[in-house]
Every structure is written in structure tokens, then in C-alpha cells.
Amino acid sequence: MEAAGPVPATVGSLPVMPRAAFFSDMDDTFLATDKSLVALNMEALDALGCRGLPFVPCTGRAWAAVPRELLVHPAVRYVVGANGAVVRDVRRGETVREASLDPACVRALLGRLGGVDCSFDLFTPEGVLSERARYERLGAYIDDAPSLGTVRASRHPQDLTTEQLIAGHPHIQKLTLYWKDESDRRAIREAVEMDGALGLTTSHPKNWEVMAAGVSKGSGLAFVCGLLGVGESAAVAFGDSPNDIPMLTRAGDGVAVANATAETRGAARHVTSSNDEGGVGRYILDLLGRWT
């Protein structure tokens, strides 16, 4: 579908660039399937920077795992990481929002998952930590090489048990659990849903992601809009997976890439071309062309 987005005002007969903000998921949305940066998307990012319009990476990754080319780009000041649990001001080098899980809830969840074959990755201010034995099992859970490479590169395997890691890190922002079999998938979901303090989403066919209840990319978008002084109705957001849906539905214009899941496309107002075709950049450049 063609781009819509915020409607420009007019002064006399001349259009005025609307005050807008752009939010985008990273994996399989802004990034190509092989995790590379797409030239058309970077062209759009440069165009936003030239116009003083903010671009906000909004990802399930830890904020520091966003490609450096984006972290230092003039259009980027804020990064929403860990599915909304963290907002980082990359220009000032400080975290401006952090929503942590209750460690007691994390310990209880681990106990309920005693017989489940899954990873148990802890997103913390010190990095993404994994018990080494679980880290070495990642290849049994993730069957696509680009995702496996990214996940392995962003984890820090530890020679401690998961129980010890939880005890030593009281500020756990998110959990990611990759699973092997369908029975494991169901068991994880049931275990998480037993605790109303936990929220559940997914960004990959073989994972579950756990945050504090109420934390999502949508809450992260709302927080950053407040920092920017931009209404949520003036936000344009891009995504491909179920964890992007709260962001797409909260933004004034939620846009799914063509390779998005059916559920995500159904929640979006518009659909652009695929991630490998630079759908995010194409949509942004079309909008900018209509505004100028």
C-alpha cells in the first residue's frame, strides 16, 4: 500500500514538514535477512537526519547490539531495547528508562521450567548473560544461520548456573527462551502465564520473550514520544513480528514489511515491501517526497 503517515500542515499554499518520529524494528525489518544494512534504508535515514526528523531503533535486542552505524547516525538519539524495557540516550550515553523483572518471579519461572529444553538468556545492564551449557545448546534451537550467529555474538556465556546468574543480577530487563520442540513451546507459555507479573511475546519462530507485565515496544514508543515532544499519532512504526504489534498499533501509522507474519500484517495500517527490498526506506522516502 502507498505511504500515508502524518498529514502536513500548510502555510498559505506551501506544505510544512510535519513533526513526526520514525520507529523501526531491526531484525527482518530494517535489517536484511542476512543481518546486513540495506542501502535504501540508510538513504532514508540520511534523509531524516538532513530534515531533523528522529529515527528510533526499537528492538528486542539489547540496545548495544544495534548496528554501530545506527547508534552514531545524526538521526538517532534514542534506542528502545529489550522490547521496551530499556530506553537509551545514545548521545548522552545514559539509560533514561529501565523496567526490570522481579528476581523472585524470574527464579520461580526457572523452577517451573525444570524439565523444559530451552535457553534462559538474561538481559541485564552488564549484557546478555547465559549459563554456558545453555549457550552451547543454541544450535539445537535455532535453525537459521543468520539468527544463530547474531544470538551467539550478543550473548556472554558464563561459568555459573542460571540460578547463580539470577542471584547476582537484580536488574533483569528481559528473558529470551529459545526452545527445541513444540511441547517445550507450550510448557514455556503455560509457565509464564501462571504469573500475572510477567508479559510474554515472541520475535522468532523458536523463541519466547519475557518482560515485566505492561512492558512492550508500544510502551517504549510512548515514552520516547514524550521525550521528543511528538504525539503518538505522529509516529510511524515498522515491524515484522508479534513483538512489534504493540508498537504498530500505538503509532499513528503502523507499517508491516511484506515478509511480516500474517498476524503482524493484520495489525498494521499499511504494508510496504520486504526487508530485503528496503521496504522501510522506500516507505520513508515516499513520505518525505509527499511532504516536500
Q: Which pLDDT score is estimated for 19?
A: 78
How far is 147 from 159, CA to CA, in rounded Å?
24
Same domain? 48 vs 111:
no
Q: What's the rounded mean pLDDT across residues 195-216?
A: 98
Residues 191 and 238 in one domain: no
pLDDT greater than 90 at residue 247: yes
**pLDDT confidence of residue 14:** 36
Measured CA to CA in angstroms, residue 58 lies from 12, 24, 25, 165, 228 at distances of 37, 5, 5, 26, 15
Of 106, 132, 114, 134, nearest to 184 by C-alpha is 114
Would you place residue 5 in the very low, low, confident or very high pLDDT band (cuts 50, 70, 90)?
low
**Whether residues 125 and 201 fall in one domain:** yes
CATH of the domain at 37: 3.40.50.1000
Average pLDDT over residues 118-130: 98
Domain count, the chain: 2
- Confidence class for position 73, pLDDT limits 50, 70, 90: very high
Which residue, 189, 241, 250, 191, is CA-closest to 219?
A: 250
The whole-number pLDDT of residue 253 equals 97
Give the pLDDT band of residue 17 (cuts 50, 70, 90).
low
Task: Identify the pLDDT of residue 290.
Answer: 86
8 falls within a domain:
no
The string of pLDDT tens digits covering residues 129-179 is 999 999 999 999 999 999 999 999 999 999 999 999 999 999 999 999 999
Shared domain check, 182 and 267: no
Does residue 150 sit in the same domain as residue 183?
yes
The CATH number of the domain where 138 resides is what? 3.30.1240.10
State which of 166, 187, 212 marks the end of a domain.
Answer: 212
Looking at the structure, tell me whether residues 154 and 77 fall in a common domain: no
The answer to the question of residue 10 being in a domain is: no
Do 168 and 181 sit in the same domain of this protein? yes
223 in the same domain as 80: yes
Tell whether 7 is covered by a domain. no
Distance in angstroms (rounded) separating the CA atoms of residues 227 and 195: 32
Average pLDDT, whole number, for the chain? Answer: 94
In a domain, 4, yes or no: no
Q: Is residue 82 within 8 Å of 62, Cβ to Cβ?
A: yes
Tell me, yes or no, whether 152 and 279 share the same domain. Answer: no
Return the pLDDT at 291.
78
All three cell numbers of 276, joined, read 530485503
Contacts of 158 (CB under 8 A, 6+ apart): 129, 130, 131, 132, 165
Residue that finishes a domain, picked among 212, 244, 261 = 212
Please compute the mean of the pLDDT values over residues 185-209 and round it to a whole number. 98
Is 6 among the domain residues?
no
Q: Are residues 80 and 220 in the same domain?
A: yes
**Residue 9: is its pLDDT beyond 50?**
no
Segment holding 135, helix H or strand E: helix 132-135
Whether 12 is covered by a domain: the verdict is no
Segment 54-79 shows an average pLDDT of 98
Residues 110 and 170 in one domain: yes
Domain assignment of residue 14, yes or no: no
Beta 155-158 vs 207-212: how paired, if at all? unpaired
Domain residues for 224?
Answer: 21-99+216-291
pLDDT, tens digit, for every residue of 165-176? 999 999 999 999
> What pLDDT score was predicted for residue 11?
34
Whether residue 192 sits in one domain with residue 91: no
Is residue 11 one of the residues assigned to a domain? Answer: no
The residue among 207, 150, 138 whose CA lies nearest residue 26 is 150
Q: Is the pTM of this model over 0.85?
A: yes
User: Among 190, 212, 234, which residue terminates a domain?
Assistant: 212
Quick one: average pLDDT of 67-95? 98
